A and B are shown apart, each in its own frame.
Chain A
Amino acid sequence: MKRQAILAFNSVVVFACLLGLWQALVSLNHLPPYILPGPLAVLHALRERYPSLLNSLLITTEEAAGGLLASIVAGVAAALVFAQWRRLRQLLYPYTILLQTVPIVAIAPLIISWAGAGIFPVMIVTFIICLAPIIANTTQGLISVDENLIHLFLMYKASPAQVLFRLRLPNALPNLFTGIRISAGISVIGGITGELFAGSTRVGEGGLGYAIIYASNQMETSYLFALVFAATVLGFSFFFIVTFLEWLALHNWHESSLPYLEE
């Protein structure tokens, strides 16, 4: 516990030093805030524009979370199908790689022109970029089960559904969480990318991506920095929540979690 406290304290000191260095760089060189604002100017913009920033943050959160949840549901369903029918997996699996390699920036405008305005098309963009890591990792976990465990279930005359849900699915849980962790990080990027093209998702307001374009056009660089900061915090929060859920689900039995201390 003491060692962790020291570690946390050191992190804070390093962060403070970096901020100080940044402020010094700006102040000593007399850089105008529209080129590079110092942390104090960013803090000021944060305080001044707090309500609209929070509004944008909530919109992006909604889009990223919606796309991520949809990708988890669809991704796990696809992985279960792939695990159960090998032929189908061989036939369709290459398309999940296609999902990952398609340049989302190029197709985002298309999706928006098909799906119309609002939050929904942005969720679709997020969904698309979150899907591949979930499918790939979960499928891997579902199909890499110890052969003897399968034999054990066969000796018990287990049904295919029992093998799938009592053996393969729990076996894939660590992989599923790896997938979700990757997707949680990129879901925020998906939301912002979608908004760059979707523009205002409600009348006169939009998510972080929309606000970033707006701030950039208005040369409000301090506010731009504040928005980037908010986006980073959002991505980090998603990551933290997923890591916590992963710990809840796995800490009793999986090697990736801390060792059990007793005796």
Chain B
Amino acid sequence: MVATSTESIPEIELNAVTKRFRNAAVAVEGISLAVDRGEFVTFLGPSGCGKSTLLKLVSGLSPVSEGTVRVNGMTPENARDLVSFIFQDATLLPWRTVEHNVGLGMELEHAARPARKERVAQMLELVGLSHVARRYPRQLSGGMKMRTSIARALVSRPRILLMDEPFAALDEMTRDRLNEELLRLYNEHKWTVLFVTHSVAEAVFLSTRVVILAAHPGRVAHQINIDLPWPRTAETRESKAFEEQVTQASRLLRGVYQG
């Protein structure tokens, strides 16, 4: 199934992609974008620029109207095994405990129970939630819910993560901490990440590249390569280079907002 990745194939490739909704509204128009394996690409832009739509197109949850999307050279539907989607709110099943939420995917695939338990325990350990494995989602804080959601996404050993404003509902301190943890995991696993956010600082901190989109219709307005040194930690946010890149991105984004 999985094509052996050669240098020439981008991990994710959008070619002149247009998405129209049934009511003829144009979400994105003529977007071309290539993302190499291991890149962390963040999308910024005003509402209506089609940030979330792009992730839906890459995951195959929503079909393109024109153009093509390729994931590791395959159609999005065929590449689903490589991809995990992390939604805006944690989207946990409230009637399942943390461990059973995390194990959901393996359960639906009828994975053997011991293997499932072991994998779930590993993932909970990874996101620091082992102590709340038996709790129900409503007994968790917003940050813990999001960690559960991340653990669930990692169970299938994805190569690609699609994250749609995952930390938008969290307070700033929790969000910063989760950003740092996400980068720690990213450096270990070398995923390719597409990440949607409204926060310029979050985008700069996380990414190797920031893509700024314009709205009505959604299209790529600017791309900025972020060359902050790795590993990035809490101190990174206090550096001069970070400040400069945030200022640069903010300026470009402001231009897009003003049309």
Contact = CB atoms under 8 A, between A and B. Distances in A.
A54 to B, nearest CB: 40
B128 interface: no
Interface string A238-260: 00000000000000111100001
A154 B138 contact: no
A137 to B, nearest CB: 17
A254 B136 CA distance: 10
Contacts of A22: none
Interface residues of B, number: 23
Contact of A155 (B59, B88, B89, B136): B59
Contact of A153 (B84, B89, B108, B138): B108
Given A155-B83, A155-B84, A148 B105 contact: no
Given A155-B80, A162-B108, A260-B138, 7 more contacts: A151-B85, A152-B91, A152-B104, A155-B61, A156-B104, A156-B108, A255-B138
B139 A260 contact: yes
A253 B137 contact: yes
Given A152-B91, A173-B95, A158 B61 contact: no
Given A155-B84, A253-B138, A255-B138, A149 B91 contact: yes
A151 B80 CA distance: 12
A130 to B, nearest CB: 25
A155 B136 CA distance: 23
A65 interface: no
A152 B87 contact: yes
Nearest to A158: B108
B94 interface: yes
B94 A156 contact: no
Contacts, number: 53
B136 A252 contact: yes
Contact of A156 (B93, B95, B109, B137): B109
7 contacts: A148-B89, A148-B91, A151-B61, A155-B61, A167-B93, A253-B95, A260-B138
Contacts of A156: 104-105, 108-109
Contacts of A260: 136, 138-139
B80 A157 contact: yes
A166 interface: yes
Nearest to A157: B80
Interface size bucket, A side?
20 to 34
Nearest to B156: A156
Given A253-B137, A253-B138, A154 B61 contact: yes
A170 interface: yes
Given A149-B93, A152-B87, A166 B139 contact: no
Contacts of A167: 93
A146 B137 CA distance: 15
Interface string B120-158: 000000000000000011110000000000000000000
A156 B104 CA distance: 9
B159 to A, nearest CB: 14
B142 to A, nearest CB: 16
A251 B88 CA distance: 27
Contacts of B88: 148
A127 to B, nearest CB: 29
A166 B138 contact: no
A253 B94 contact: yes
B46 to A, nearest CB: 22
Interface in A15-38: none
A170 B93 contact: yes
A166 B137 CA distance: 17
